[in-house]
């Protein structure tokens, strides 16, 4: 059997849903070499999508993530409300609201037009892929593709198989995503929250618990988190971190500490109250912190600036950084001999 191509130039990609993530995913795929068909499920998307994608492309050009101008990529991008434009796509990424009913309706519209061989994926944050694929005509070629915002600068990507997904599609996406500048993870068996959300939500729960019980303020928890995990997580994951700092200590601490960690199953009151009162975070200035309009804008700008800086650092320290050093040392030894 011939292997499907992993050359982005030969693969037209579709995106349905042009909100925050749909636009940054479109940017990532264009820069990787795909032709992109971007479908706006609601007319409201059309107001912002082109402008947002152009802005991402312009910034990426200025930051030297690409040597091509936004105009070049816009020739390879079609923004439309017409689902039938997805017909030539070998890969379609659904990126609509995190709502099962909406996603179901969208899959019907997509599957009515795409080829039976095309792969359909969802960028869902937390709906199990097994549930989503049960709403499709061809569950074997349905998978999860979980991106991190801003998708055109981050290296994170989870490829998730549902119970009915065929693993070879997961492997194809895994291989292809290296061309998108990702360091992907293949989740071979479906689990709610996949990998990172399970890790992150256990931290969010404990953070809320510490504040609710009066051990620390929101500011203190954030400061501790930034200056501890924030210093090593771009280089190593949790297991290498324990190796680097001595496994037995973790064994000892776990015995005493684990029984005291929060295992609350309801949504913490701290976040419940914010949401009940209409708080959305930086978007409307009301979250765990409050923001003036200027502060909110500057936080968003600073986050974008940081995402380019951290990307540079991350590229300097890829997963195989040590293997690369070993090869370099061997080569240096050979040339000395
Ligand atoms: N924001 C993140 O950081 C992030 C990270 C990972 C995964 N995700 C997931 O990506 C998906 C999209 O998130 P986002 O942040 O881009 O959201 P968003 O709110 O910015 O965009 C949502 C999109 O859904 C579409 N939509 C809204 N109502 C619809 C309807 N009735 N029918 C069809 N389409 C409709 C909108 O047109 C819009 O394009 C969600 O599943 C989310 O969980 C988000």
Confidence of residue 4 (pLDDT cuts 50, 70, 90): confident
* Residue whose CA is at the smallest distance from ligand 1 atom 33: 41
Q: What global pTM score does this model have? A: 0.89
Topology match between the domains 8-187 and 201-291? no
What pLDDT is attached to residue 337?
83
Q: Which two tokens stand for residue 110?
A: 């997509």
In CATH, the architecture of 201-291 is: Orthogonal Bundle (1.10)
Domain boundaries, the chain: 8-187, 201-291
Tens digit of each residue's pLDDT (9 = 90 or more) over 272-324: 999 999 999 999 999 999 999 999 999 999 998 998 999 999 999 999 999 99
- Compute, in angstroms, the gap from residue 19 CA to the centroid of ligand 1: 6
What pLDDT is attached to residue 2?
63
- For residue 151 and ligand 1, the question of a CB distance below 6 A is answered with no
What pLDDT is attached to residue 126?
85
Give the residue from 204, 98, 196, 200 showing the smallest Cα distance to 155.
Answer: 196
- For residue 123 and ligand 1, the question of a CB distance below 6 A is answered with yes
Identify whether the C-beta of residue 95 lies closer than 8 Å to the C-beta of residue 25: yes
Give every CB contact of residue 204 below 8 A, 6+ residues apart in sequence: none
Atom of ligand 1 nearest to the CA of 44: 37
- For residue 202 and ligand 1, the question of a CB distance below 6 A is answered with no
- For residue 15 and ligand 1, the question of a CB distance below 6 A is answered with no
Tens digit of each residue's pLDDT (9 = 90 or more) over 33-81: 999 999 999 999 998 999 999 999 999 999 999 999 999 999 999 999 9
Topology of domain 8-187, CATH: Rossmann fold (3.40.50)
Give the residue from 125, 110, 165 showing the smallest Cα distance to 143.
Answer: 165
- For residue 46 and ligand 1, the question of a CB distance below 6 A is answered with no
Q: Across all residues in the chain, what is the average pLDDT?
A: 96
- Compute, in angstroms, the gap from residue 105 CA to the centroid of ligand 1: 14
Give every CB contact of residue 96 below 8 A, 6+ residues apart in sequence: 16, 17, 19, 41, 102, 103, 106
Tens digit of each residue's pLDDT (9 = 90 or more) over 117-168: 999 999 998 899 999 999 999 999 999 999 999 999 999 999 999 999 999 9
Give the residue from 161, 150, 139, 176 showing the smallest Cα distance to 26.
Answer: 150
Atom of ligand 1 nearest to the CA of 126: 43
User: Measured on CA atoms in the order 27, 122, 4, 109, is the torsion positive or negative?
Assistant: negative
For 30, the 3-state DSSP assignment is: helix
- Compute, in angstroms, the gap from residue 24 CA to the centroid of ligand 1: 12
What pLDDT is attached to residue 1?
56
Instruction: Fill in the DSSP letter of residue 260.
Output: G
- Compute, in angstroms, the gap from residue 177 CA to the centroid of ligand 1: 21
- For residue 17 and ligand 1, the question of a CB distance below 6 A is answered with yes
Q: Which two tokens stand for residue 221?
A: 């928890």
Tens digit of each residue's pLDDT (9 = 90 or more) over 194-226: 999 999 999 999 999 999 999 999 999 999 999
- For residue 97 and ligand 1, the question of a CB distance below 6 A is answered with yes
- Compute, in angstroms, the gap from residue 130 CA to the centroid of ligand 1: 19
For 333, the 3-state DSSP assignment is: helix
Identify whether the C-beta of residue 23 lies closer than 8 Å to the C-beta of residue 58: no
């Amino acid at each position: 059997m011939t292997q499907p191509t992993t050359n982005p130039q030969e693969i037209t990609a579709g995106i349905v849903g042009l909100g925050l993530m749909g636009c940054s995913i479109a940017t990532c795929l264009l820069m990787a070499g795909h032709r992109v068909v971007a479908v706006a499920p609601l007319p409201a998307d059309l107001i912002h999508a082109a402008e947002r994608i152009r802005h991402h492309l312009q910034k990426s050009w200025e930051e030297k993530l690409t040597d091509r101008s936004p105009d070049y990529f816009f020739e390879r991008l079609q923004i439309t409300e017409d689902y039938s434009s997805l017909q030539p796509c070998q890969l379609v990424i659904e990126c609509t609201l995190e709502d099962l009913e909406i996603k179901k309706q969208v899959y019907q519209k997509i599957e009515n037009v795409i080829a039976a061989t095309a792969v359909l994926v969802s960028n869902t944050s937390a709906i199990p892929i097994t549930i989503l694929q049960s709403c499709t005509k061809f569950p074997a070629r349905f998978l999860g593709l979980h991106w991190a915002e801003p998708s055109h600068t981050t290296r994170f990507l989870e490829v998730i198989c549902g119970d009915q997904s065929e693993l070879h599609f997961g492997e194809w996406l895994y291989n292809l995503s290296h061309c998108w500048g990702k360091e992907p993870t293949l989740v071979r068996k479906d689990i709610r929250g996949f990998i990172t959300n399970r890790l992150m939500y256990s931290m969010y729960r404990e953070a809320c618990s510490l504040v609710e019980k009066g051990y620390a303020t929101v500011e203190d928890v954030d400061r501790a988190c930034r200056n501890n995990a924030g210093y090593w997580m771009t280089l190593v994951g949790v297991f290498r971190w324990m190796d680097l700092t001595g496994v037995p200590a973790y064994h000892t601490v776990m015995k005493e500490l684990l029984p005291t960690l929060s295992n609350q199953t309801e949504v913490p009151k701290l976040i419940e109250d914010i949401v009940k009162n209409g708080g959305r975070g930086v978007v409307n200035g009301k979250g765990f912190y409050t923001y003036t309009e200027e502060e909110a804008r500057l936080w968003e700008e600073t986050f974008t600036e940081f995402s380019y800086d951290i990307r540079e650092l991350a590229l300097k320290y890829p997963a195989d950084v040590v293997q690369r050093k070993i090869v370099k040392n061997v080569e240096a030894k050979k040339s000395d001999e």
